[in-house]
């Protein structure tokens, strides 16, 4: 069989368009634009690209973008002071600190400083606690985007066996919780899981988020399984190439021969992350302004 290619780029474009409409309606009601503040510390090239992309996407979605680019030697006290100012700024509805931070900074302390109603990355203890309790709150962007793709592809996830490979707080753990909330039966696997291929082989849904290039092979998968590949890895350049190609945690070519549906890398989960960030920002804006957002509007 040849797997259906799950087009995250197209889904994300539709989501961004819906956010843009809601953002325009919000501006008319609130008398201001919804605002997203992104904080970048240091000059990491990849992080600079990500921050630039988020800023452009925010403006394109009819929202205000506030970029704060700080020197790499910024102190913990100065960074926390900026977070405090953004927490108290009524024009800012969402705060995102670009990770990773330089080694001398305490990432968790910085994330903890963000007030929960502006935690559009869904990483504060309050946000993670509400997710674990099954309560409404901010959800990390990549897992929520992955769940959206799964529901679009499969409809109800109830009763399906799901394996999440990876247990990070950014993807693995929140992904597992979202799948549980959707009434799937969930196994979290990781680098120390015994007989990992056999466990994955039982799954109707496989979410790979472990950061190992093309680790998941054809014979790991159940026929017809739906595969969400969160990984993004750059291989070493082949002879004559200036840079290596991007691949996921799943061997796309092999997996496509047995899976029912699969996300490509690039073009699968990646575009969903920024789209969901925008979605979280407009949700936060409505909450912060005391404006109701119709259930199912986004």
Catalytic residue among 98, 222, 249, 251, which?
98
31 is in an annotated binding site: no
Can you give the pLDDT at residue 293?
A: 92
146 is in an annotated binding site: no
Helix ranges (H only) for the chain are: 8-30, 45-60, 76-87, 107-113, 125-132, 141-154, 172-181, 196-200, 252-255, 270-289
73 is catalytic: no
CATH architecture of 141-271: 3-Layer(aba) Sandwich (3.40)
Instruction: Please give the torsion angle defined by the CA atoms of residues 262, 268, 270 and 271, in that order, rounded to the nearest 10 degrees.
Output: -150
User: How does pLDDT run along the chain (298 residues), one tens digit per residue?
Assistant: 689 999 999 999 999 999 999 999 999 999 999 999 999 999 988 888 889 999 999 999 999 999 999 999 999 999 999 999 999 999 999 999 999 999 999 999 999 999 999 999 999 999 999 999 999 999 999 999 999 999 999 999 999 999 999 999 999 999 999 999 999 999 999 989 999 999 999 999 999 999 999 999 999 999 999 999 999 998 888 888 888 889 999 999 999 999 999 999 999 999 999 999 999 999 999 999 999 998 888 8
173 is catalytic: no
| Radius of gyration of the chain, Cα coordinates, nearest whole angstrom | 19
pLDDT tens digit sequence for 135-144: 999 999 999 9
| Residue 173 Cα to chain centre, angstroms | 12
- Whether residue 264 contacts residue 231, with contact meaning beta carbons closer than 8 Å, is answered with no
Q: Answer whether 30-120 and 141-271 agree in fold.
A: yes
CATH architecture of 30-120: 3-Layer(aba) Sandwich (3.40)
Catalytic residue among 54, 118, 173, 222, which?
54
169 is in an annotated binding site: no
pLDDT tens digit sequence for 102-134: 999 999 999 999 999 999 999 999 999 999 999
Query: Does residue 76 have a cis bond before it (omega within 30 degrees)?
Result: no
Structure tokens that stand for 172 in this block: 């693995």
pTM: 0.95
- Per domain, the residue ranges of the chain are 30-120, 141-271
Tell me how far CA of residue 272 lies from CA of 117, 209, 228, 237, in angstroms.
Answer: 22, 15, 12, 27
Catalytic residue among 121, 204, 249, 251, which?
121
Can you give the pLDDT at residue 153?
A: 98
53 is in an annotated binding site: no
48 is catalytic: no
């Amino acid at each position: 069989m040849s797997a259906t290619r799950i087009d995250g780029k197209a889904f994300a474009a539709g989501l961004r368009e819906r956010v843009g409409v809601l953002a325009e309606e919000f501006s008319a009601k609130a008398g201001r634009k919804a605002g997203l503040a992104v904080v970048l510390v240091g000059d990491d090239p990849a992080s600079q690209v990500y921050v630039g992309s988020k800023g452009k996407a925010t403006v394109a979605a009819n929202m205000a973008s506030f970029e704060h680019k700080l020197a790499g030697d910024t102190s913990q006290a100065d960074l926390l002071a900026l977070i405090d100012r953004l927490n108290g700024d009524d024009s800012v509805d969402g705060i995102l600190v670009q990770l990773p931070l330089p080694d001398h900074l305490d990432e968790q302390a910085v994330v903890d400083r963000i007030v929960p109603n502006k935690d559009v990355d869904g990483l504060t203890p309050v946000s993670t606690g509400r997710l674990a309790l099954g309560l409404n709150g901010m959800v990390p962007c990549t897992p929520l985007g992955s769940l959206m793709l799964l529901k679009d592809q499969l409809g109800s996830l109830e009763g399906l066996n799901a394996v999440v490979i990876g247990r990070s707080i950014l993807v693995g753990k929140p992904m597992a919780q979202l799948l549980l909330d959707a009434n799937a039966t969930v196994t979290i696997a990781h680098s120390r899981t015994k007989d990992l291929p056999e466990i994955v082989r039982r799954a109707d849904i496989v979410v790979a988020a472990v950061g190992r290039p093309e680790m998941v092979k054809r014979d790991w998968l159940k026929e017809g399984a739906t595969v969400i590949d969160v990984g993004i890895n750059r291989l070493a350049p082949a002879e004559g190439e200036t840079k290596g190609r991007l691949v996921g945690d799943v061997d796309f070519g092999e997996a496509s021969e047995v899976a029912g549906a699969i996300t490509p890398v690039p073009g699968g989960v990646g575009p969903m992350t920024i789209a969901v960030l925008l979605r979280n920002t407009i949700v936060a804006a409505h909450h912060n302004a005391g404006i109701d957002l119709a259930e199912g509007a986004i």
